[in-house]
Structure 1
């Protein structure tokens, strides 16, 4: 019997295995996929280093990620270059400016900054704003079409789901007072060799036993520990369990006894993160250019860096509900709208929305379900803990959030493993 059975070998799971090992606890990692990494997915595409088909950026203040990378000897590199210019597009055509009526456009953008400052100060007005979905906010403020396009372009990254269901506070943050481009400025660092490299290094150093390609179908809380039944029929026993599987996949695991009512309600509802991330290779586009608007379902395209072969890697985002499965014709159209001078060479992506072991991108809570994310609902059971960026009490949706939640779960499990579990 192992000390802790960890379900999910993404960043939260492998980091937890590493830290539990620091406390002297042995662990077993069980991953449903044939690979580890979770929503970190780095793989080669053409020449050069692997590219990120999942999460890849972190902020300069993500202390846990920086410390973990330093411990594992995995270098972090600055995102380069800075934004060198912004362009706009609409309905498959480039625009010379965000709007022919720039006074109205700037007035709307100023309203965004005022409301962001209100949110930062708190109080009654902030409380009222926090009750609005993004769509309701744009209607309430009567934002002009150009501001809606710019807002929703950044929403494809930050909100990543239906604006009619997700609270406007997902984007209306204090940092917005500095302008929407601050959202790109904060994406300061990347992992050399890809985020998957960091996960793999954590798994190796943890010395955890590792099982891949065998999903957990049932997790039972027993009098003397926990028992997991895998799809293969294999049965694993442990003193405790840590579940780091994405929120939208928890319905694939049967819990005995059943989850508590708030947990069950959130498992049934899931989160709404349904963005699409595309990687496009093109020539003739200098790195640092940002294009925003809407065409072919895409809303945000950024010329990230030059590849060894001289092409530029362009990272693009949209909402899956608007793009569907991308076609080459659609991507060519979007590229022509954003960067008319570009020469298209190819595109690639990973369908996280239909990935059976993700069922969505980074977490994006529906406004109605926000109370169900309260950590108190997910930390009450001493023998079965939950971690992952979907459950983070802060930095939700970031790798830093995955580590924050894993750190808290490790502390709780270590306490109970050394002091004894309370009687049920």
Structure 2
């Protein structure tokens, strides 16, 4: 019998398996897809440039991921923050360019700073590992981020700026976002917290060799211990072991299981032997829905226009940023995903290129290559990042990521500050908890 069976070969599962294997455990990693990597994926252009189709950005507070990159002999480089030029704003059916946002007045900007100060002060009272311990946790969770902004007298332009920020992250709207969840996410920065969303803390770096190379290097270390195309249909947790049943009917027994299956696909898996409270917490977690679009060009032509490739929009794509030389990344917002998915691939491509051309001119409509990844429609992902609507955190409770018996969970859905960081952090934490026993 195996010491540990790990379900999922994304960053979380691979991180857990790598630490367990290096400590002498007999491990098997079962992956439903025909590839490793989960929500990180990359391809190579004819000219050798790497293109990231999934996760790519990390910040200074993403300490677990940064440490893993170093252990694997990989390197970090500056992300889009090093790109010259100014930000594009596509709102009210018009496009403007500038930093700070040219559509805001001096009074708007002053009020934004005031509101951010209130938010930061409130966030510093939240324990990100245990937000439920806050004396007003229930009330904060029941309050939407939108309602809180209005309660502190935020100007209309300030509310719009926060809404643009949410859309740019492919998160759901302010009205469908728990204030407690938003505060918890910010509180991860600790003493470094000075702003609502600081690029140094969140997105200042990327892996020079490609984000998917992180997963590939771990998979190389686990050669012979990863099985692909293994669809899990049932997990039975017993007092002395765990049985994992596959769609083929095969049953794999192990002393422990690390479940790194994303929460939406996990709902299709029958689980027995866990408490009702634990199962409820697993099922209640939800993801925001998004697609990623990547356009690759011969040159970084936007520089000649005085633009830095970063944008915020109320249209199809909530934000764009520069992935690398000549490469623009974009996220389809949850509010626009139904429209995006309603068309065939040619319509999706056309709509995405029209959105880019609005912001960057006709040259943006003629990329060398265009990629679309509908992560929310992929059967073994069914989502983008964890999202907490008002009331969710209270309903889920602090049991959401704790081990129970021989059942351990890992994955970006269980950590709130960066989904690659969340995957690595919780994967390694699950391995540590097993080894401690």
TM-score, normalised to structure 2's length?
A: 0.82
Which residue does 1:90 correspond to in 2?
Answer: 91
Structure 1, 42-51 or 3-12: larger mean CA deviation: 42-51
Cα 1:120–1:264 shift into 2, 3 Å: closer
Answer whether contact 1:288 1:304 (CA < 8 A) is retained: no
Cα offsets for 1:46-65 (capped at 9, x unmatched):
53333221111112343322
Answer whether contact 1:302 1:314 (CA < 8 A) is retained: yes
Cα offsets for 1:68-123 (capped at 9, x unmatched):
22222223222252463122122442136646561343244223322223224439
> What is the DSSP-based 3-state SS (H/G/I as helix, E as strand, rest coil) of the residue aligned with 1:278?
strand
RMSD value over aligned CA atoms?
Answer: 3.0
> What is the DSSP-based 3-state SS (H/G/I as helix, E as strand, rest coil) of the residue aligned with 1:405?
helix
Which residue does 2:246 correspond to in 1?
Answer: 230
Q: Take 1:87 and 1:334, find their aligned partners in 2: how far apart are those partners?
A: 12
Instruction: Map 1:270-419 to 2 at 5 A.
Output: 270-282=285-297, 284-286=301-303, 288-295=308-315, 297-306=316-325, 312-324=326-338, 325=340, 327-340=348-361, 342-346=363-367, 347-392=370-415, 395-416=416-437
Answer whether contact 2:241 2:256 (CA < 8 A) is retained: yes
Which residue does 1:255 correspond to in 2?
Answer: 271
Gaps of 5+ in 2: 127-133, 342-347
Cα 1:332–1:375 shift into 2, 3 Å: same
Which residue does 1:43 correspond to in 2?
Answer: 43
TM-score, normalised to structure 1's length?
A: 0.85
Gaps of 5+ in 1: 307-311, 417-424
Cα 1:157–1:125 shift into 2, 3 Å: farther
Answer whether contact 2:278 2:399 (CA < 8 A) is retained: no
Cα 1:204–1:374 shift into 2, 3 Å: farther
Q: Take 2:104 and 2:165, find their aligned partners in 1: how far apart are those partners?
A: 21
Structure of higher RCO (CA pairs closer than 8 Å, 6+ residues apart): 2
Q: Report deviation, 1:158.
A: 4.3
Q: Take 1:35 and 1:381, find their aligned partners in 2: how far apart are those partners?
A: 29
Answer whether contact 1:17 1:208 (CA < 8 A) is retained: no
Which residue does 2:74 correspond to in 1?
Answer: 74
Cα 1:126–1:82 shift into 2, 3 Å: farther
Cα 1:404–1:108 shift into 2, 3 Å: same
Shift >4 Å, 4+ stretches? 96-101, 123-131, 141-145, 169-172, 174-181, 372-375
Cα 1:385–1:403 shift into 2, 3 Å: same
Cα 1:48–1:145 shift into 2, 3 Å: farther
Q: Report deviation, 1:138.
A: 4.1
